[in-house]
């Protein structure tokens, strides 16, 4: 176990494995963790055992930050799997993978909707996506038009009507965590003015599962529009009053992928087979985190488009710094009165 909040599937009594000694280091969104760890454990056991650590709890960033800071001569885990959060898209993390000689290892063709997710440099393999959609409360929307595109969320007609994901610290009312990926996407597309306009339309920042549960009610913090992952939007219990809108210009997309040490490809192939196999793709589809394969289960709606930052953007911009800039602009402009 790397930290107390990490799960090492094959050796739960070992408290301090070195990152370089791992066959696998990974993390997944909370709704996928139990099924993913169970399947990964079975794949590792069938292969005769592999040294696996899986991040949970408050240690989401810690081992990945440690990889980015490690010396170029230090080995990395043979397989690193993660959603493409700001730390993974940082220059330092990608440089560290390059220095270690890591590469993609995708065994399947990708769905046309996911074509732009293929890494032209061959550093990462994308196997699934986290799509963000709009959950609309039609009673609270009243006579306003249903938003269909991301730019629509900047329209003053939706003033004080938008909720998006995060949580507030009760002690001082600050927001130590929020959907900064959303803010970065808005900043990259619409600039500072767009982030300010979005801030003026934001009513509350609320955990996605809480917002899903309260959508369609008279809860005072809920507005007409909630921006959340498709999974949470889809489980809203009041579908007679709400509807899920997949944006016409594409669901904002955070890819999930992995990178492999080529000389260890054979050793981690059973883990790759699990991650990229039909059985796990079907589980991803059931949970509304679609796999990206052209054949077999993937779960994307017919005609769906995906919209993500793009490889050119992430490799020519300091994603970490731009995320912080987008957050500063948002919180400076957010009118919570």
Whether residue 2 has pLDDT greater than 70:
no
In the predicted model, what is the mean pLDDT of residues 112-135?
A: 95
pLDDT of the residue at 182: 97
What is the number of alpha carbons within 13 Å of residue 220 lying toward its C-beta?
1
Whether residue 4 has pLDDT greater than 80:
no
Higher pLDDT, 140 or 173: 140
Percent of the chain with pLDDT over 90: 75
pLDDT tens, position by position, 190-199? 999 999 999 9
- How many Cβ atoms are within 10 Å of 292's Cβ, its own excluded? 29
Whether residue 71 has pLDDT greater than 90:
no
Whether residue 9 has pLDDT greater than 80:
no
- How many Cβ atoms are within 10 Å of 2's Cβ, its own excluded? 22
pLDDT tens, position by position, 25-70? 999 999 999 999 999 999 999 988 888 888 876 678 888 888 888 8
Whether residue 15 has pLDDT greater than 80:
no
Report the SS3 class of residue 317.
coil
pLDDT tens, position by position, 297-327? 889 998 899 999 999 999 999 999 999 999 9
Percent of the chain with pLDDT over 70: 92
In the chain the beta strands, taken as DSSP E runs, fall at 6-8, 24-26, 52-55, 79-83, 125-137, 162-164, 166-167, 177-178, 202-205, 225-229, 242-245, 251-260, 306-307
pLDDT tens, position by position, 263-287? 999 999 999 999 999 999 999 999 9
Confidence of residue 156 (pLDDT cuts 50, 70, 90): very high
């Amino acid at each position: 176990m790397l930290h107390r909040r990490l799960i090492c599937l094959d050796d739960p009594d070992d408290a301090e494995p070195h990152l370089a000694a791992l066959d696998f280091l990974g993390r997944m969104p909370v709704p996928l963790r139990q099924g993913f760890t169970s399947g990964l454990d079975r794949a590792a056991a069938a292969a005769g055992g592999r040294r696996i650590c899986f991040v949970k709890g408050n240690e989401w960033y810690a081992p990945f930050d440690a990889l980015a800071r490690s010396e170029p001569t230090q080995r990395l885990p043979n397989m690193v799997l993660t959603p493409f959060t700001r730390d993974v898209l940082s220059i330092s993390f990608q440089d560290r993978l390059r220095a270690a000689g890591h590469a993609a290892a995708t065994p399947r063709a990708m769905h046309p909707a996911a074509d732009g997710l293929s890494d032209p440099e061959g550093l990462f393999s994308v196997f699934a996506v986290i799509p963000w959609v709009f959950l609309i409360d039609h009673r609270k929307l009243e006579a306003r038009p249903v938003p269909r595109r991301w730019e629509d969320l900047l329209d003053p007609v939706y003033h004080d009507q938008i909720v998006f994901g995060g949580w507030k610290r009760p002690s001082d009312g600050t927001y130590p965590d929020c959907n900064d990926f959303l803010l970065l996407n808005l900043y990259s597309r619409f600039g500072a003015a767009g982030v300010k306009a979005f801030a003026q339309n934001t009513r509350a920042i609320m955990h996605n599962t809480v917002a899903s549960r309260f959508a369609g009610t008279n809860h005072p913090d809920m507005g007409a529009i909630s921006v959340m992952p498709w999974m949470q939007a889809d489980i809203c219990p009041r579908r007679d009053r709400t509807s899920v809108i997949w944006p016409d210009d594409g669901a904002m997309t955070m890819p999930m992928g992995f990178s492999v040490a080529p000389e260890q490809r054979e050793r981690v192939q059973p883990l790759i087979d699990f991650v990229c196999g039909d059985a796990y793709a079907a589980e991803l589809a059931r949970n509304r985190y679609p796999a990206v394969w052209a054949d077999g289960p993937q779960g994307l709606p017919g005609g769906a488009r995906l919209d993500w930052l793009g490889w050119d953007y992430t490799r020519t911009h300091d994603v970490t710094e731009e995320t912080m800039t987008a957050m500063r602009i948002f919180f400076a402009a957010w009118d919570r009165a």
